[in-house]
Amino acid sequence: MTDIHIRIENQTGRITLNRPAALNAMTYDMCMAIDAALRDWRDNPAVVQVMFDAEGDKAFCAGGDIAELYRTGRAGDYAYGRRFWRDEYRVNAMIAAYPKPVISFLHGFTMGGGVGIGCHGSLRIVGDSSRIALPECGIGLVPDVGGSRILARLDRVAPGLGAWIGATGLRLAHVDATLGFADRFQHQSTWEETKSLLIGNNKATLPDATPPDSEIRPHLARMAAHFATGTPAEILESLKADPSEPAQTAAKALQRACPLSVACHIEILRRLGPDCSMEDALRMEYRFTWRCMEHGDFLEGIRAQIIDKDRSPKWRHASLAAVTAAEVEAMLAPLGDDELTFH
């Protein structure tokens, strides 16, 4: 497959995303190719570790390729999207539980589906250009692909931190990505050498690198506190009352985002808690994504951001205050026979 390059190099199973013109957006076929490779290598003694990287300068993976999701959803066919998310989430779970080391090099944009394949392994490396984000609330989705687990676990750092990052789609630059999404910073000028070192010796020790200054850590405790308690509408009012630049930026992001998505995302994190499992997180996310075309704002969000690009979505709710607890419960209720399973 030209969109993805899968091979074995010196006992390292290598997966290189190869759609640079599309910011390496993940198609269903690419997802299934990764699934097949990981299953094959899991019990293959010729492979001792797995390495993900990507071609191009701009992105590791900017998310899922949502054109087909939009086309089928607009036609009233919700089965394709449900199958896409189900199978993608199973791959995310497999990476998180993989019995061999999984290494990823996350340059440029790593968003949405890119987080799902790049941020659940055992060694996640970011560099100078890295920008990691879960911007799904801006398109009528919720942070998914296991992203809710990463965000929920950030409550150990500061309660409300994950909700701030997820609800606003905050982009974490290089070293800030080590807040749950990555393990270490390496200057990208050393990456090819680092890859060769790891492929040659899977137990190699990587050289230390001095990361750039953090962009958010000086504001972390203050911003997380806004999101730690209260309803989404109360969180917004708290932000508006804070004159600091980060708070005002977050308030504007919340007002642009899909109200139903923000409310459901915050509720998902509170239900999961910092000790949640990957499967619990994916199962909760799937309850929302299974319903998001038929009962949510996903199709409208994609229309406004990707198709028509008018950046003026007509959300079902005029404000965060208009979303009821019953509507959130309906989006997150168990799916019965359609509940996500992992096999």
**What CATH number has the domain bearing residue 321?**
3.90.226.10
Distance CA 41, CA 299 (A): 37
In a domain, 317, yes or no: yes
What is the identity of the amino acid at 90?
A: R
Q: Residue 182's pLDDT is what?
A: 97
The overall longest dimension of the chain from CA atoms, in Å, is 59
Q: Distance between CA 332 and CA 343 in Å, rounded?
A: 22
Is 343 contained in some domain? no
Within-domain flag for 60: yes
The CA distance from 159 to 152, in Å, is 9
List C-alpha distances in Å: 307 to 1, 171, 313: 27, 23, 11
CA distances in angstroms from 204 to 182, 193, 200, 210, listed in the order given: 18, 12, 8, 19
**Which pLDDT does position 173 carry in this prediction?**
94
Tens of pLDDT along 94-136? 999 999 999 999 999 999 999 999 999 999 999 999 999 999 9
In a domain, 324, yes or no: yes
Residues of the chain with pLDDT under 50: none
pLDDT of res. 179: 92
Residues 6+ apart with CB under 8 A from 252: none
Q: What local confidence, expressed as pLDDT, does residue 1 receive?
A: 57
- Please write the tens of the pLDDT for every residue from 162-197: 999 999 999 999 889 999 999 999 999 999 999 999
Which residues in 24-43 are b (16+ Cβ under 10 Å) and which e?
bbbbbebbebbeebbeebee
Phi, psi of 143 (to 5 degrees): -55, 120
Distance of CA 78 to the CA centre of its chain: 22
Expressed as residue numbers, the domain containing 162 is: 4-338
- Domains: count for the chain: 1
Separation between Cα atoms, residue 280 and residue 317, nearest integer Å: 28
Distance of alpha carbon 11 from alpha carbon 341, whole angstroms: 31
Residue 32 lies in a domain: yes
Q: What is the DSSP string of 98-161?
A: -SS-EEEEE-BEEETHHHHHHSSSSEEEE-TT-EEE--GGGGT--S-TTHHHHHHHGGGTSTTH
